[in-house]
Amino acid sequence: MLFLVALGCASACSSRLGNSEAAVDRTVVTGSVPDQSAADKDPARAADIATIRDAVSSADVEAVKGATLAWANVDTGSRGGISGLTEYTDKGTVCRRFEASRESFDGVTIFKGDACAAGQGAWRMRAFDAL
């Protein structure tokens, strides 16, 4: 019974107010938040990017030439393939370009990436953009 009274009031009350009486409160001020990369916003995506980076850095480029290198992240359940893997040198640093697919619960996305050696066996992703 209470539900019906509230429902009746909601429709009657809103029709009496109308849109002309509703005003925007311009006294409310909000702060800005610095933009974060997509990886910072989504820990699962960040983990997948790290898994792809590790697969790219440890691949034998000559052995996978023309083939697709499979990757999977057991922690997130995501998987995909890395293709078009090529190695080049940029100012004395070994780098690798590639395309990667990411299949996850939120769909399939294709990325174009670029990873470079960062010293002491570590690699860093210089670019990882959705196509």
pLDDT tens for residues 115-129? 999 989 999 999 999
Is the pLDDT at 100 greater than 60? The verdict is yes
Q: What is the arrangement of strands in the sheet containing 78-90, beginning at the earlier edge strand?
A: 69-73, 78-90, 93-104, 107-119, 122-130
Rg of the chain in Å (alpha carbons): 25
CB-based contact 104:51 (threshold 8 Å): no
Assign 62 a pLDDT band (cuts: 50, 70, 90): very high
pLDDT 10s digits, 3-60: 444 445 455 554 555 555 666 666 655 544 444 455 557 899 999 999 999 999 999 9
Classify burial at 50, counting beta carbons within 10 Å of its beta carbon; exposed 0-12, middle 13-18, buried 19 or more. middle
pTM: 0.69
